[in-house]
Each structure stands twice: as C-alpha cells, then as structure tokens.
Amino acid sequence: MSTPSSAPAASGPVAIIGAGALGTTLARALVANGYAVEAVLSRTAASAEALADRVGAPVADTAYAALPKTVRWVFVCVPDDAIPGVAGALAAVQHPWADTTVAHTSGAVPAQALAPLDAQGAALLGFHPLQTFPEGASPATLSDIVVGLDGDSAAVEAGAAVARRLGARPVRLAAADKARYHAAAALASNGLVALMAAVEAILPLPRTDSAPPPREWVAPLLRQTLHNVLHHGPHGALSGPVARGDEGTIRKHLEVLQDECPDQYPVYTALSAELVRVAVGSGALSEAQGERLAASVRHADDAPEPST
Ligand SMILES: NC(=O)c1ccc[n+]([C@@H]2O[C@H](COP(=O)([O-])OP(=O)(O)OC[C@H]3O[C@@H](n4cnc5c(N)ncnc54)[C@H](OP(=O)(O)O)[C@@H]3O)[C@@H](O)[C@H]2O)c1
C-alpha cells in the first residue's frame, strides 16, 4: 500500500459513481452544501446524464477513464455486490489516487471492499448514511441522521467532516461490526415495511363502504407505538396480550392465523417470542410465565405450510 501524500481533505471536487437512489440524493445534498460534483459516472449513460444535469456536473459518462484528474472525493454508490468490481476498474485508471478519498456507501461491507484502490494509495472509507432513500428522496433526508464510518483514522476523520457538513452525525464503526450494524438498520426500516405488509394482509376487509381504508385503522396505533418506543424504549412501550400474560388471547390469534393467514403466522410467532423476552426482561412477566408463553408461540410442529 502506498502512503497518501497528505491526510485526506474533507472538501474538494467530487465524483459520484452510480446514479441510483442514494447517489442522486447524496449528489444533490453535497451540492446544496457547497461541494462541486465534477462527474457522474454510471452504468448507463441516461442515468449519468440525468444526474449530471441535475447537479451541474460537467462530466457524465459510463467509462471510469472519464474521471476528472481534479476529483478528490469519489463516492461509489452502486449495489454492495458491485463495489469490488467498480474498485478494480477504478484502480486501473490513471488518477492522483494518493490525494483522493474513495468512499462507498454500503452499511454491510467494510471500506476494504475497495481494496484494489488501497494499492494505488487512495484513502478508503465506508460512508453509510443510516437512512432509507427511495427513488426521489429529498437531500434533506440526509440531515439529522447518523452516518456510519469505517476505514483508517484519517479517512474516518475526513468522512466525519463531510457528514457534519451535510448536517449529519458521524459514528465510527469497526469493520467487523458492519454486518451486524446493517442487519439492525435493515430490520428498523425494511422490517417495519414487512411488518406493515403483514398487518395489512391480516386485517379483515371493511364491511361497509364508508369505513376508512384498513391502513388508516392502524395508523394512530402505529404512530403512538413508535412514539412510545422512541421515547421510552421497548421495555417502556410494552402493552398487549404478551405483556399481560393473556394466553387465551394469544391462542386465539394463533388459531385464526393458522387457519386464515398461514403466510403471516411465522411473523406473529417470531415477533411474539421476541416480545416475551422483552416482557421477562422488564419484569412484566415472571420467568415461568415467559417460558410457558414462549412454548405456546413456538409451536414449530403445528406451524402451517406457507402458501406458494
Ligand atoms: N437506497 C437506500 O436506502 C440506501 C441507504 C443507505 C445506503 N445505501 C447504499 O447505497 C448503495 C446504492 O444503493 P441504491 O439504493 O442507491 O441502489 P440503486 O438505486 O439500485 O442504484 C445503484 C446504481 O448503481 C449503478 N450500478 C448497478 N450495478 C452496477 C454495476 N455492476 N457496476 C456499476 N454500476 C452499477 C446503477 O446505475 P445505472 O442507473 O446507470 O444502471 C444504479 O443507478 C448501496 O451500497 C446501498 O447499500 C442505500
């Protein structure tokens, strides 16, 4: 590994690689906070050109050789599995790599996924905005969030300065913790989406035309629960049949789900088992009650086959 010519700077011209959901939001946020995006390189010309137009980048291309020599920050915003290939292709390009920080934005893989660029002397950084960015997300969704950073100390320090400039809070991660960190993040976001899909699948259809749509039935419950969890933690937000040890009600739930909603049955049992752990941990249930309830929601042998 060659040594960077100096500690990586927190500012400097930027290139975005991968003009997808995050690449677009990040590029727009960087420009809004005073960075110059000099190039957008993407797999397809149309994506690169659309984002370059949007952020006033003079270069839009599909070839990594088009990377301007002036660029000092490269943000690789491609799917996680594509990161090593992109790094390998970039490493073959002549560039003042020793003066350049290359960051990828994956939460699950370490900065070392960019290893081919290490040999060229680039500073490597994992720069993971802990937020969900559907297509079209506003640049404001990058502020007031945590950005998980990993890499060597100088790169992490420079990445922290970039994160702060975007209005975010930098947090240093150990490379070995990233998969676990990202599993938790995925559960917080995608898990909630899956949970809501299960809730909507289980809710009975309204019996009258004038009833609000089922999602609205649960919306206040969802908002209040989120508020309680965020302010008081899972222990402080406990309520419901598991917390009360209401075995009869839980049995009814299991029976109706088994008969009518077999696909959602394992969602209910897995979450209830976790809830039993929370209830025992908070003292709402005794160890003995917890064991009994856990056994009744485990029921692995009775679990229905999910429909195909
Ligand atoms: N979206 C989120 O909520 C979010 C949040 C935090 C972190 N991240 C991370 O950000 C990164 C990008 O995620 P995303 O959601 O923005 O993905 P995305 O919307 O699918 O965009 C990825 C972009 O990468 C380009 N690309 C795809 N395969 C490629 C390849 N083999 N080589 C080169 N370029 C390729 C595509 O370019 P073309 O359009 O030109 O085909 C696409 O626009 C991932 O590492 C992800 O983990 C995403």
CATH 3.40.50.720 segments of the chain: 14-176
Instruction: Look at residue 304 in the predicted model and tell me its pLDDT.
Output: 55
Residue 133 neighbours by CB under 8 Å, 6+ apart: 21, 22, 25, 141
Of 43, 74, 83, 150, best ligand 1 pocket probe by most atoms within 8 Å of the beta carbon: 43
Averaged pLDDT of the chain: 94
Residues of the chain with pLDDT under 70: 1-6, 299-308
One CATH from 3.40.50.720, 3.30.465.10, 3.30.1360.120, 3.90.1150.10 for 14-176 = 3.40.50.720
Q: What is the pTM of this model?
A: 0.92
Q: Which of 67, 78, 166, 187 to mutate to test the pocket of ligand 1 (most atoms within 8 A of CB)?
A: 78
Q: Which atom of ligand 1 is nearest to the CA of 104?
A: 45
Q: Annotate 5-23 with b (16+ C-beta within 10 A) or e (fewer).
A: eeebebebbbbbbbbbebb
Whole-number pLDDT of residue 305: 61
Q: 217-275 pLDDT, tens per residue? A: 999 999 999 999 999 999 999 999 999 999 999 999 999 999 999 999 999 999 999 99
pLDDT in tens, 118-145: 999 999 999 999 999 999 999 999 999 9
- Integer CA distances (angstroms), 47 to 15, 16, 29, 52, in order: 14, 12, 18, 8
- From ligand 1's centre to the CA of 154, what distance in Å? 26
